[in-house]
Amino acid sequence: MKSHALQDIEKPRLSREVARRLGQTIREGRFLPEQRLPSERRLSVELGVSRPVVREALGTLAAQGFVEIRPGSGAFVVDVAVQLAHVEPATWFRENGKLVEDFYQARLAVEPAIAALASRRANPERTAGLRAILRATEIVIARGEVAACIGLDIDFHRAIAVLADNAFVERMLEAIIDDESDLRRVLHRVPGRPVVAHRGHLRILDAIESGDPERARDAMAQALESAAEDIGRLVRGGGGPDPA
């Protein structure tokens, strides 16, 4: 029989794993927007965990914006892309502080290293795709097409992982970046942020093309830290991004 101490240790770990698995099924489209998830009781049986673990996992998914808990009715899948396209950025970031922190901590742990690795593989032919993405970004920024900026931003970072030429690296980045729930869907709606992000991308590409891994690492870290700082400034009521 397990001690209460062990149960206390395992519960958070189990709830995180259940939240991860349920979130994955939602991203894969197994549950559609507005569809009700199975009851806590049914999920606990299917997943082999207790109802409190399921309840905590659903609370995590609600905080991340994947589900909406309706008292007396259950948990319903949220259309994340639609939700993020209409939320008020400062309020959303304020209410989802832990998610924002985790997102940028994970990216800072992975992407500077990816950029450094990509710089070792760089040549004009290999970086042509990155250049094309940035040219397209300039066009959509001039047109004010925020949704297109978001997609191109994600494409740029994925292309760097491809340039790194390491299948495990690509999987690591895919575990962090999700087209529908990526925080850039909120951040890029802040006036001026797409321009600031684009300038950071130009510096990243220049550093990658230089063939200097440390320079590429630093450029990526600075771009990610800039985004996190802009969010912090927004939450504190300090207005939009720093244009520097």
What value does the mean pLDDT take over residues 211-226?
A: 97
The closest of 105, 102, 198, 199 to 153, measured between CA atoms, is 198
- Tell me if 4-78 shares its fold with 84-235: no
What value does the mean pLDDT take over residues 195-217?
A: 97
CA–CA separation, 217 vs 43, rounded Å?
A: 43
Task: Give the per-residue pLDDT at 98.
Answer: 86
Coil/strand/helix, residue 3: coil
Contact 27, 19 (CB under 8 A): no
Contacts of 112 (CB under 8 A, 6+ apart): 216, 217, 218, 220, 221, 224
Distance of CA 27 to the CA centre of its chain: 13
Hey, how many other C-beta atoms are within 10 angstroms of the C-beta on 54?
Answer: 27
What does residue 192 show for φ and ψ, rounded to 5 degrees? 90, -20
Instruction: Categorize the per-residue pLDDT at 78 as very low, low, confident or very high, splitting at 50, 70 and 90.
Output: confident
pLDDT at 121 > cutoff 90: yes
Using alpha carbons only, what angle is made at residue 24 by residues 68 and 77, rounded to the nearest 5 degrees?
A: 20
Tell me: the pLDDT tens digits for 130-139?
999 999 999 9
CATH class of 4-78: mainly alpha
What value does the mean pLDDT take over residues 89-112?
A: 91
Hey, how many other C-beta atoms are within 10 angstroms of the C-beta on 32?
Answer: 9
Task: Give the per-residue pLDDT at 5.
Answer: 37
Hey, how many other C-beta atoms are within 10 angstroms of the C-beta on 8?
Answer: 9
Tell me: the pLDDT tens digits for 2-40?
433 334 435 567 888 898 889 888 877 788 888 999 999
pLDDT at 231 > cutoff 90: yes
**Strands 67-70 and 74-77, how do they pair?**
antiparallel
* Every domain of the chain and the residues it spans: 4-78, 84-235
Instruction: Categorize the per-residue pLDDT at 41 as very low, low, confident or very high, splitting at 50, 70 and 90.
Output: very high
Q: Residue type for 147, please? A: A
Q: Which two tokens stand for residue 35?
A: 């569809």
Residue with tokens 């207005």: 239
**If 0-12 CB within 10 Å is exposed, 13-18 middle and 19+ buried, where does residue 195 land?**
middle
Percent with pLDDT over 90 in the chain: 59
Task: Give the per-residue pLDDT at 1.
Answer: 37
Instruction: Categorize the per-residue pLDDT at 161 as very low, low, confident or very high, splitting at 50, 70 and 90.
Output: very high
Task: Give the per-residue pLDDT at 134.
Answer: 97
Q: Which residues pair with 75 in a beta bridge?
A: 69
Task: Give the per-residue pLDDT at 9.
Answer: 39
pTM value? 0.70
What value does the mean pLDDT take over residues 168-197?
A: 87
Report the mean per-residue pLDDT for the chain. 87
Contacts of 223 (CB under 8 A, 6+ apart): 197, 200, 201, 203, 204
Contact 223, 200 (CB under 8 A): yes
Instruction: Categorize the per-residue pLDDT at 179 as very low, low, confident or very high, splitting at 50, 70 and 90.
Output: low
Quick one: fold of 84-235? Answer: Four Helix Bundle (Hemerythrin (Met), subunit A) (1.20.120)
Lowest mean pLDDT among 56-65, 164-173, 204-213, 235-244: 235-244
CA–CA separation, 63 vs 73, rounded Å?
A: 18
Contacts of 184 (CB under 8 A, 6+ apart): 150, 153, 154, 197
Tell me: the pLDDT tens digits for 104-117?
999 999 999 999 99
Hey, how many other C-beta atoms are within 10 angstroms of the C-beta on 27?
Answer: 15
Lowest mean pLDDT among 47-56, 73-82, 99-108: 73-82
